[in-house]
Structure 1
Amino acid sequence: MSKLLDMFSRVRRGQSGEGIGFLGRSKTVAKARAAALVVEFTDSDAGDVEAAIKAGADGVLFSWDGKDSASLSTLKPAIEAAKTAKENIATGLRITSGLGRLKHKDLEHLKEQGIHYVILPLTAPARLLGMHIKDLDIVVSIPMREGELYPNFIRNLNAFENVAAIHLDFGLTDEVGAMSIEDIMHYRAVREAVRAGALLNLAGKLDEADAYTLLALGVQGVILGGEQAGATDEKQIKQVRELLEKIHQEEEKDDSTPNLPGKM
């Protein structure tokens, strides 16, 4: 199983492990969560990456403009720090531009740097879907667009076996907790069009109402941080982690509660 898909399934079970990093040896015990927590970084500071993992991140995500392959070498220390902090950490790369110049050898180089999956926009060259690189997953970013036929259009992604997961680029705002059932149905229709795991960016701070609404979309992972959301600190990571744990515990409690006579 790929690192990305393993992350999706592992967080539902909970986990324990041990790591040695810049901050010393530490044992971690993670409770099961409703979704995986991925932290996105705008730079590649090894200390920040390790701190995020210690705060509860299940995965880390970096960005690359696709222009200078040599700049990818700066990711190596951060990726090594991530692996040291958590052996089974999933590391991803969002490629923002320069997609037309990407070749098979470039994707191989990404894997050699320790990248487990890449996020590509819907406008990326289709030939990239045909480049099968062992242990490197492709995630396609899907924007939200109007139109009743849009989910049918997105459903065509199911024909590409090389798409391991999708990234929902919905641009949801801080008022997500106030969305109506009708609102969420439009987003859910697009998400359900693809039979694959889904990642979703969180915009700004997340409260309990936001968390319940976002998870109603049926996502397997949430992304915290990035250029649009700004810097993410350990306190914010811990807060989101605890919310995801709480929601999962409530789901398990509901599943284990026996039906009373006459209760459907």
Structure 2
Amino acid sequence: MITQNSIGSLITTIENKVATLEFGHPASNSFPRELLDRLTNALNDLSSNPEVSVIIMKSEGTGAFCAGASFDELLAVSNQEEGTKFFSGFAHLLNAMRKCTKIIVGRIHGKAVGGGVGIASACDYVLATKNASIKLSELAIGIGPFVIEPAVSRKIGKTALAEMTLAAHEWKTADWAAAKGLYADVFENTEDLDRALENFCSNLASYNPEALSEMKKVLWEGTDHWETLLFERAAITGKLVLSDYSRKALTQFKK
């Protein structure tokens, strides 16, 4: 199934019990709110699909994996309600990934920024290329990675989170991300990545789906409070994005 319009595309394919979700957007695979909602809905549908055991999360193209939130929509926010609503889109997506009954495997082929790091962190298992550097640049634009923080901290810990967040202009290499536990393995190129991804997901899909579902629950134990926490964080970010600092920084970044 393909859903595509001016604010991005989403392609869903299912083969041999492995579903692939491929999102795309012309602006470095960034996320306007509607695309976040479409991806969330697709995940919820696959979660209840008995023909699916494993989900691959990937993005289109050969450039960035995901540039995070849409700068155009951030600049269009005019009040706190709108800001909270926009960032709640990431809260809904991360909660859908958390509650999904299927194992989600991330394919990170290129750079990930902000919300893109959050999506990678919310995957249950991640394979990446050497080009998959990561950055949390939110402080540099007057906000912070508040909504995605629980997902990132769960994977790499608070110390590594602080190292990324406070050095908001610095890229961390794919090898750094692997050493911290975000990536399970790193490959020289996309050909090697896709070969490993196919083998891994094929093996995973051959396992007892009930066992996989129970394992998913174990992996996410202790995160039920995200149901409220992530939306509280969305409200914080929704307020900060209206600040003069954020307005000026976003305008400068967009230029």
**TM-score computed with the length of structure 2 as normaliser:** 0.33
Q: Which structure: greater strand fraction? A: 1
Report the structure number with the largest CA radius of gyration.
Answer: 1
